[in-house]
């Protein structure tokens, strides 16, 4: 199954736009009325929808380490990549990895 992404509120909306114009199925916190929601709600939404959560919030790494189930996390340290670099990294994941392979896995961008 092809990867679908969910961007939490820390990720610039320009990343979603860039992915969408490349044909990638992506949702954002604003799209799904999750602005201000706690981290567990974001992770639960992404899991229900079989989406890889894209985040710059290290709290999700701690949740992963504690064994919280998820459909995959793509993590990038804040301000370490440009919007274009994030889009390119996510496109590489989208093209090379299946949704099934991402379950329970963290990819560092």
Residue-wise pLDDT for 18-75, tens only, equals 999 999 999 999 999 999 899 999 999 999 999 999 999 999 999 999 999 999 999 9
- What single string gives the DSSP state of each residue in 5-69? EEE-TTS-HHHHHHHHHTT--EEETTTTT-TT--HHHHHHHHHHTT-EEEE--THHHHHHHTT--
User: Which pTM was predicted?
Assistant: 0.93
Rounded CA separation 4/79 (Å)? 23
* Cα separation values, 49 from 26, 39, 77, 84, 99, Å: 11, 16, 24, 26, 11
Task: Please say if the pLDDT value at position 79 is more than 90.
Answer: no
């Amino acid at each position: 199954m092809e990867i679908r992404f969910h961007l939490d509120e820390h990720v610039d909306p320009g990343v979603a736009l860039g992915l969408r114009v490349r044909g990638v199925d992506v949702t954002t916190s604003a799209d799904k009325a999750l602005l201000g929601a706690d981290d567990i709600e974001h992770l639960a939404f992404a899991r229900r929808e079989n989406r890889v959560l894209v985040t710059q919030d290290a709290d999700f790494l701690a949740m992963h380490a504690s064994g919280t189930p998820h459909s995959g996390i793509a993590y990038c340290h804040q301000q370490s990549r440009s919007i274009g670099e994030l889009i390119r990294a996510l496109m590489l994941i989208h093209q090379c990895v299946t949704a099934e392979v991402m379950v329970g896995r963290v990819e560092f961008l």
